[in-house]
Amino acid sequence: MRLLVLGGIRSGKSEVAEALVAGAGAVRYVATARERTSDGGWAARIAAHRQRRPQSWVTEEVGDSPDRLAELLTGAKSEDTILVDDLGNWLSAVHDTAGDWSDPTAADEPIAALAGAVRSCGAGLLVLVGPEVGLGVLPATDAGRTFADASGLLNQRVAAACDGVALVVAGEVSWLRGGELVQHAGARETPKPQEPAAKPVEPFVFESTGAGSVLSTADGGDTLSFSPGMELPLPDESTAHEAAERLLTLRLNGAGLGGLVPVVRFAGGVQGRPDPRPFQQPRVLVLRGDRTGGFAAGDSAEAADRRLAEVVEGNGTLAMLAAGAGASVQAIDCPSAGPAEVHDALDDTGVDAALTLGWRLADAAANEGVDLLVLGACGAGADAAAAAIVAVLTGAEPAALLGRVVDSSGFVDDAAWMRKIGAIRDARHRIRTRSREPHVMLSMLGGGDIAVATGVVLGAASRRLPLLVDGPVAIAAALVARDYGAQTRHWLMMPDHGDNPTVKLAADVLGAAPFLALRLGLGEGATALAALPLINTALTIAAATPLRSAMTGDETGDETGDEAGDEAGDGAAGDGLSEQERIEAEIQRVVADSPTAEMPYVKPSWED
């Protein structure tokens, strides 16, 4: 796979490129800059790049011999991961070597050779960094114009040879092409090839051995700032109301959509249209973050491993439902949390990084065209952590929030339930004098999965991306996210609370009433996927069913309906009619238009 990352000076392009290869064990870093011993500032830049590279990377410098770059790419093997940083320095070295900055065509042949080498490169992953210089004014010098023209040509030729092209502006990544190949460019994950079209579930796992690599961000470790009082957008309430009112005008044969009316209203608001469409590109984020201590009583990391493996391999209930709903799946392996009854689950740095990762997951999903997110989790002790957060934020008794513990063999483990309750109460006692500010809550009790989920909720709201919340982790994250920005709850919809007491209470506090009452308990994320086809059915009916005419009951949108009705006198007959009279007139019209209206009466045999 070949990827090109473009950006301006200090845009963060190098950090994004490094994030794309960070999951590989060994990386060949090709440095193209020439040494300038007399330029202290330039030497400092090179030193900063060297210091940022992991010790396991192998650096090859081609600044003094720019022709070597094409040779390195042509000779790459399938197991190689290569990062070239950057093409601008390589182009400068080409002109310096030629000794002529006045000829705008001097680099044409080297550019063609390099583009051919990129196209034929056999490396498993090749990432090239290049400067985008075509957005400013035309340089005032001949050398500057030569470089700008040649750089534009170079970017075009290399982009044409690559599978994906990204543009980085102010640290934010926009994939111009091929973003689906890497799923997300901002979380230091290992890019995976795109799955065949025949396989609807495309899992992606953040592989790591520790919190640092999982929660590293795309800009070299810098994190976003999260604090209460965030200003986030709201859905279009007027359009939501219009979508609900529009249902009353549909030409339906029955009484209407009933309990699915809130679904259409919600979709109208988040999509900003009175006739919302079915969700076409849903994505499921499955968060796995284990805990130790009493919170994890009755659970096991092995069971969480098995459930995560089912997601990745396309097996199990969630993968089956995702395939049926046409949803892509991302599995995020979050860091483990310590015993919250003894000490905080995460430190402040870990919370910041987890929130940033969640925000960028939502941001990347929006950039890739995802129109609905589903939050799920499968970590050991996640239910207890969610119950602890809800208990602290609502003042509820933990014993009333935590459902019965069912072990991996399917048996109820009451002893484990008592250990969980004891751990939650000990944790509440430990933090009794501390702040209930959301950042502190995530640090004290949340753990990696709930903190990432909170960042997802915030990031989704910022990008106007709706979410289906399903299960204790998602609803606990939504409750914490509300304290960062109250607007977040308006982007959430809950299909079914699954009769889980933690979910029921938190949903009631958030005002996220479920539109189903089936008590589905299929696992976090799976219930939402089971309800998704029903959601899309309601939206299809709402969008595709013709409207009644206010005058005659003819379908709105018929180009001749109103005019024909007026000519026949039907339009005038509707003036001043009551609702009951209008309905009776409609029934009579339908009967009159029926193909059986003129059929003779046939006496049934039983009347003989």
Residues catalogued as catalytic: 524
Q: What is the dihedral of CA 515, 516, 517, 521, to 10 degrees?
A: -120
Question: How large is the angle between the packed helices 108-120 and 87-98, nearest 10 degrees?
Answer: 140
DSSP letters, 169-192, are ETTEEEEEE-GGGTS-SSS-PPP-
Per the listing, tokens 């020439």 go with 34
Alpha-carbon distance of 351 to 447, in angstroms, equals: 8
Which residues, 6+ apart, have CB-to-CB distance to 209 below 8 Å? none
14-44 in b/e form (b: 16+ CB < 10 A) is bbbbbbbbbbbeebbbbbbbbeeeeeeeeee
Per the listing, tokens 């210089």 go with 133
348-371 in b/e form (b: 16+ CB < 10 A) is eebbbbbbbbbbbbbbbbbbbebb
Beta-bridge mates of residue 331: 205, 286
- Whether residue 577 contacts residue 585, with contact meaning beta carbons closer than 8 Å, is answered with yes
- Note the residue count of the chain: 608
Closest to 506 measured CA to CA, from 473, 484, 546: 473
Range list of H helices, 248-286? 261-271
Find the radius of gyration of the CA atoms of the chain.
30
- Whether residue 328 contacts residue 283, with contact meaning beta carbons closer than 8 Å, is answered with yes
- Give the Å distances, CA to CA, from 11 to 14, 51, 550: 8, 19, 56
Encoding tokens for residue 99?
């000794």
* 125-131/2-7 β-pairing: parallel
Cα 547 to its chain centre, rounded Å, is 35
Closest to 500 measured CA to CA, from 370, 605, 595, 386: 386
In angstroms, how far apart are the furthest CA atoms of the chain?
A: 116
Task: For residue 538, report the phi and psi dihedrals to the nearest 5 degrees.
Answer: -60, -40
